Amino acid sequence: MSTELIRLKDCVMTFDGETVLKSINLYINDKEFLTLLGPSGCGKTTTLRIIGGFEKPTSGDIFFDGKRVNDLPPYRRRVNTVFQKYALFPHLNVYENIAFGLRIAKQTESEIKSRVGAALELVGLTNFDKRRVTQMSGGQQQRVAIARAIVNQPEVLLLDEPLGALDLKMRKEMQVELKRIQRQVGITFIYVTHDQEEALTMSDTVAVMRGGVIEQIGTPVDIYNEPKNAFVADFIGESNILPGTMHKDFDVTFGGVRWVCVDKGFDTESPVDVVIRPEDIQLVSTDDSPIKGRVLSVTFKGVHYESTIEADGYNWLIHSTKAPNVGENVGLFLTPEDIHIMHKSAGEAKAEGGDSY
Amino acid sequence: MFAASFRLAFYATAICLLISYPIAYVVSRETPQVQSVFMVLLMVPMWINFLLRTYAWMSILENNGLLNKLLVLLGIGKVSIINTEAAVALGMVYNYLPFMLLPILTVLQKLDRSLLEASSDLGANGVRTFLRVVFPLSLPGVLSGVTMVFVPSVSTFVISKLLGGGKTLLLGDLIEMQFLGNAYNPYIGSAVSIVMMLIVLVCMFVMNKFGDGGEETSMF
Ligand SMILES: Nc1ncnc2c1ncn2[C@@H]1O[C@H](COP(=O)(O)OP(=O)(O)OP(=O)(O)O)[C@@H](O)[C@H]1O
Ligand SMILES: [Mg+2]
């Protein structure tokens, strides 16, 4: 097991009486790739700013290597940041923006030249070194921001939606590049995104946040396969979430049908949320399924078709490679493994910080 | 005379800059409330007529004026400052200080805080952030302040007349004499005016070049 590098302990953040972070507990291991994932306004940037030293938690502590660093200014932390709004220096050209940290660190001119050159190449802006940053597109500026942080080879890199302004192809390429650097140089990444696919493909650990609370933290596979509640399940991938009743272990009713499932440990006859992934549902003929529905719409999504099927008052979302016809009557087929039972998430879900992995 | 005018204007501008920048820097980091109180305090004296304020300085700097009374009281002894170049420079600094302060304050207020965070993030402490980020970004304000102090200073004639007692003759005084004074000669007056204007224009042009054509400096 790798060693712990950063720990947030009971961090609360309040702005003008409004609580934005409610007791964040989190630890980050050395060389780990941790992603904070959550909807807009859930406190991802604020958490990152506490780690970077731009904000002091209203209460709670932050530790680096076991030492409390609440009062350590950003310039004395071994951390660099790719800011959500880039924050490039408008009076400097691309080269000087990237060289800024190296000059502060009093590197030699030849060292600066080779490292800035490598960073420019990494982000695909090799011939832009003389360009003023104010004369660049949003995506180009974002890449300069990445280069400016990464060129310093910090121990920890904070990235606040670093690929948000890039097109899909460029984003995929940069995802691979960032991951490669993280492994090669051995940097600890704390990454913010609200793109769940990005979070799942890149991270060692994902922390799903909502309203200033970490709802769940774990490996991408755990989070995807065992979401703790309907919010996580829905956020991590489009889902069908139905109300249901858990009668006893392996026995549940939802959608007007009684099913066998693989979950247990719930109170008898307790209300639950049932989550079913759109890609787990198979379309069959009406005779082969207890759930019969009518196709409302079909949309081509590239890799698959997305259809909405109305059955028993609920609109099911289904991903399939074959397209049903609109208006057609179909049956929905589920195996016990496709059924995920969750406790009702009436805001009761407590984040257990880093303890769950 | 040309030399005296430009020398005094230069001193006045430099002193204005040295006083204004630290004040503007400190004020720009205060809360909006403190900033607006400061603005009012800065503006109130400007509502009094320029001539009246200069006359006031005359009586303060007189040999038996307020300043000397204070110095005697403190046991330092009298100084004779009225009717010297120092008095003229002081008058210029006093009158034109707000023209330096306001543009610098404005750019510092508009400075994007996230740039200071970025600088700190990249390892720069307060001093280095100031030298590498704050000051370069405030240059347009400095340049327009310099322009707005230097140009009126170089052409003033009231300040030098009242506080310089006619001993320090500046270009402005010379021009005034050709039109309104004893040495009535509009031709020489016009010629000197044009020459002065050209010199000022060249100065401004050179400064604007330094300012890299920032929008605030393009006064012309
Ligand atoms: N300086 C501040 N003063 C007051 N409120 C703030 C401040 N910074 C953030 N907030 C509030 O804190 C909450 C969380 O903000 P934060 O920037 O951390 O969200 P986020 O998760 O990064 O969202 P996004 O994905 O949109 O960037 C928001 O409701 C925001 O309005
Ligand atoms: Mg954010």
Structure tokens at A211: 């309203």
Q: From the centroid of its chain, how far is CA A317?
A: 22
Q: How far is A56 from chain B (nearest CA, A)?
A: 14
Name the amino acid, one letter, at A121.
Answer: E
Topology given in CATH for the domain delimited by A240-343:
OB fold (Dihydrolipoamide Acetyltransferase, E2P) (2.40.50)
8-state DSSP, A350: P
Please tell me if the CB atom of residue A318 comes closer than 6 angstroms to any atom of ligand 1.
no
Q: How many A from CA of A275 to the centre of ligand 2? A: 28
Atom in ligand 1 nearest the alpha carbon of residue A194: 25
Assigned CATH for A4-225: 3.40.50.300
Q: Residues near B32 by Cβ (< 8 Å), separated by ≥ 6?
A: none
Q: Which residues are A232's β-sheet partners?
A: none
Please tell me if the CB atom of residue A89 comes closer than 6 angstroms to any atom of ligand 1.
no
> pLDDT value at position A298?
92
> pLDDT value at position B214?
44
Q: For residue A88, which residues of chain B lie inside 8 Å, CB to CB?
A: 118
Report the distance separating Cα A353 and Cα A27, nearest Å: 7
Yes or no: say if B140 and B215 are a contact pair by the CB < 8 Å rule: yes
Q: How many A from CA of B205 to the centre of ligand 1? A: 46
Q: For residue B119, which residues of chain A lie inside 8 Å, CB to CB?
A: 89, 100
Q: For residue B113, which residues of chain A lie inside 8 Å, CB to CB?
A: none
Report the distance separating Cα B114 and Cα A195, nearest Å: 25
Report the distance separating Cα A152 and Cα A100, nearest Å: 9
Find the Cα–Cα–Cα–Cα dihedral B178, B180, B183, B188, rounded to 10°: 10
Q: Which residues are A157's β-sheet partners?
A: A80, A189
Report the distance separating Cα A298 and Cα A324, nearest Å: 7
| Ligand 1 pocket test target in A12, A44, A210, A215 with most atoms within 8 Å of CB | A44
* Minimal-distance CA residue to ligand 1 atom 8: A46
Where do the domains of chain A lie? 4-225, 240-343
Q: How many A from CA of A213 to the centre of ligand 1? A: 13
Report the distance separating Cα A175 and Cα A163, nearest Å: 8
Q: Which of A43, A337, A37, A45 is nearest to A194 (CA)?
A: A37
> pLDDT value at position B46?
84
Q: For residue A87, which residues of chain B lie inside 8 Å, CB to CB?
A: 112, 114-115, 117-118
Assigned CATH for B2-219: 1.10.3720.10
Q: From the centroid of its chain, how far is CA A292?
A: 35
Q: Which ligand is nearest to the CA of A210?
A: 1
Any B CB within 8 A of A54 CB: yes
Average pLDDT along chain A, 357 residues, taken 10 residues at a time: 87 94 94 94 95 95 94 94 94 96 96 96 92 92 94 94 91 91 91 91 95 94 88 87 91 90 89 91 87 91 90 89 90 90 62 38
- Mutating which of B31, B121, B139, B143 best tests the A interface, going by the most A Cβ atoms within 10 A? B121
The partner residue sitting opposite B122, judged by closest CB among A85, A91, A152, is A152
Q: Using the beta-carbon criterion (under 8 Å), do B118 and A89 form an inter-chain contact?
A: yes
Residues in chain B: 220
The partner residue sitting opposite B117, judged by closest CB among A54, A101, A149, is A54
**pLDDT tens across the length of chain B (220 residues):** 678 888 899 999 999 999 999 999 999 999 999 999 998 998 888 888 888 888 888 888 888 888 888 888 888 888 888 888 889 999 999 999 999 999 999 999 999 999 999 999 999 999 999 999 999 999 999 999 998 899 888 888 888 888 888 777 788 888 888 888 778 888 888 988 898 888 888 887 887 776 654 443 333 3
Where do the domains of chain B lie? 2-219
* Minimal-distance CA residue to ligand 1 atom 11: A20
The helix/strand/coil state of A255 is coil
> pLDDT value at position A94?
96
Question: What residues of chain B, 140 to 159, have a C-beta less than 8 Å from chain A?
Answer: none
Structure tokens at A61: 């502590």
Give per-residue pLDDT as tens, B134-186.
999 999 999 999 988 998 888 888 888 888 887 777 888 888 888 887 788 88
Find the Cα–Cα–Cα–Cα dihedral A82, A83, A85, A87, rounded to 10°: -90
Q: How far is A319 from chain B (nearest CA, A)?
A: 43
8-state DSSP, B62: S
Instruction: Determine how many CB atoms are found less than 10 A away from the CB of residue B58.
Output: 17
> pLDDT value at position B211?
60
> pLDDT value at position A345?
61
Report the distance separating Cα A168 and Cα A181, nearest Å: 20
Q: How far is A145 from chain B (nearest CA, A)?
A: 10
Any A CB within 8 A of B118 CB: yes
Atom in ligand 1 nearest the alpha carbon of residue A36: 21
Q: How many A from CA of A45 to the centre of ligand 2? A: 4
> pLDDT value at position A351?
37
Name the amino acid, one letter, at A18.
Answer: E
> pLDDT value at position B104?
95
